[in-house]
């Protein structure tokens, strides 16, 4: 990655453009230089982090009637980490064409630190027939911006008999869309005549609700406690947990849980040889009938129809 002054300034310009568009998930990689540009990079990252941690999550990007993008970063790889499939939104996030990504090792798009983490982590998980884990990784865009996020990594057996596959995915929330792209936007609808309760969230409240969000994603196979019990467990009250979560993520806790369970079932149906009964069990559905009904309501077809 070039590190001359012109390139460093261009990275800062691109970062500012992304921030102006409401995309606060990028950051700039610090350098070992000790000059004004390096100081500016540090300050810009700090400001961006503060905005991401408080301004967006207190209602700016998720406020009612505010356009919101949920952008997915997703890779399908072989056991060597060579990318076989990639989503259009991933290409947009990395500012690269599919042909510039497919066929390359995923480590080509990671920072040096994440390359080491990836190598160490995958040696362990590829020893198992199936495994899942969550790991923080940093990716580098074509313009030199960083994308850091907790990523869900699944190892599974391919249906076509070609051996193990690796699926890595995560999502980014944005007020706009990555610079130079035209990703679809969704507007949150408000029912007329009904005022949604609003709560004032402190930085600690936001961190707590993020923890609940992550806990749900990492425990999809487990039953969710009653909201009052969950609130007690998290050191808050039911009202703040219930409406604070909806204020940050635009949906209720239980709808979010169902959405994430169904998203995972769809991935497992398409990319694993697990039976539908096993998939239902792994994703927390009490019965195959309940799973099938919820899946049909969400995707318009039954799990068996999707698998073919």
**HSE (side-chain half, CA atoms, 13 Å) at 101:** 28
Instruction: Say if residue 101's pLDDT is above 90.
Output: yes
* Cβ neighbour number for residue 30 with a 10 Å cutoff: 11
In the numeric block, which tokens belong to residue 256? 């979010």
CATH number for the domain including 141? Answer: 3.30.450.20
**What is the structure's pLDDT at 57?**
43
**What is the structure's pLDDT at 60?**
39
User: Of 188, 208, 240, which one is at a domain's C-terminal end?
Assistant: 188
Residue 307 covered by a domain:
no
**What is the structure's pLDDT at 202?**
84
Q: Are residues 227 and 87 in the same domain?
A: no
Q: Are residues 1 and 49 in the same domain?
A: yes
User: Of 138, 165, 188, which one is at a domain's C-terminal end?
Assistant: 188
DSSP state of 4: S
Confidence of residue 204 (pLDDT cuts 50, 70, 90): confident
- Domain range spanning residue 290? 196-302
Mean pLDDT score of the chain, rounded to an integer? 79
Q: Are residues 126 and 182 in the same domain?
A: yes
**What is the structure's pLDDT at 50?**
66
**What is the structure's pLDDT at 75?**
92
Instruction: Say if residue 260's pLDDT is above 60.
Output: yes
Who wins on pLDDT, 32 or 136? 136
Confidence of residue 3 (pLDDT cuts 50, 70, 90): low
Each residue of 180-201: pLDDT tens digit? Answer: 333 333 333 444 444 556 678 8
Each residue of 27-62: pLDDT tens digit? Answer: 777 767 777 777 777 777 777 676 665 544 444 334
Q: CB under 8 Å to 219, separation ≥6 — which residues?
A: none
How many residues does the structure list for the chain?
Answer: 308
Backbone angles phi, psi at 136, to 5 degrees: -75, 125
How far, rounded to the nearest angstrom, does the alpha carbon of residue 238 sit from its chain's CA centroid?
26
3-state class (DSSP) for residue 98: helix
């Amino acid at each position: 990655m070039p590190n001359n002054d012109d390139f460093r300034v261009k990275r800062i310009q691109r970062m500012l453009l992304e921030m102006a568009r409401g995309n606060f998930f990028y950051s700039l990689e610090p350098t070992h230089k000790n000059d004004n540009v390096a100081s500016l990079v540090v300050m810009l990252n700090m400001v961006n982090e503060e905005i991401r941690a408080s301004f967006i999550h207190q209602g700016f990007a998720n406020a009612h009637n505010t356009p919101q993008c949920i952008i997915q970063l997703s890779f399908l790889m072989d056991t060597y980490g060579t990318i076989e499939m990639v989503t259009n939104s991933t290409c947009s996030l990395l500012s690269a064409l599919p042909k510039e990504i497919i066929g390359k090792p995923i480590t080509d798009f990671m920072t040096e630190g994440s390359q080491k983490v990836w190598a160490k982590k995958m040696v362990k998980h590829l020893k198992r027939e199936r495994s899942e884990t969550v790991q923080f990784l940093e990716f580098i865009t074509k313009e030199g911006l960083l994308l850091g996020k907790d990523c869900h990594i699944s190892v599974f057996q391919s249906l076509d008999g070609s051996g193990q596959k690796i699926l890595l995915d995560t999502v980014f929330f944005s007020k706009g869309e990555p610079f130079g792209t035209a990703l679809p936007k969704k507007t949150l609808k408000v029912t007329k005549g009904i005022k949604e309760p609003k709560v004032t969230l402190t930085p600690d409240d936001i961190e707590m609700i993020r923890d609940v969000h992550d806990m749900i994603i990492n425990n999809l196979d487990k039953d969710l406690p009653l909201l009052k019990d969950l609130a007690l467990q998290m050191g808050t009250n039911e009202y703040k947990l219930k409406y604070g979560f909806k204020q940050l993520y635009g949906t209720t806790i239980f709808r979010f849980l169902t959405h994430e369970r169904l998203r995972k079932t769809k991935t497992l149906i398409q990319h694993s040889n697990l039976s539908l009964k096993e998939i239902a069990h792994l994703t927390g559905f009490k019965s195959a009938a309940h799973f099938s009904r919820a899946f049909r309501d969400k995707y318009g077809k039954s799990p068996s129809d999707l698998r073919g």
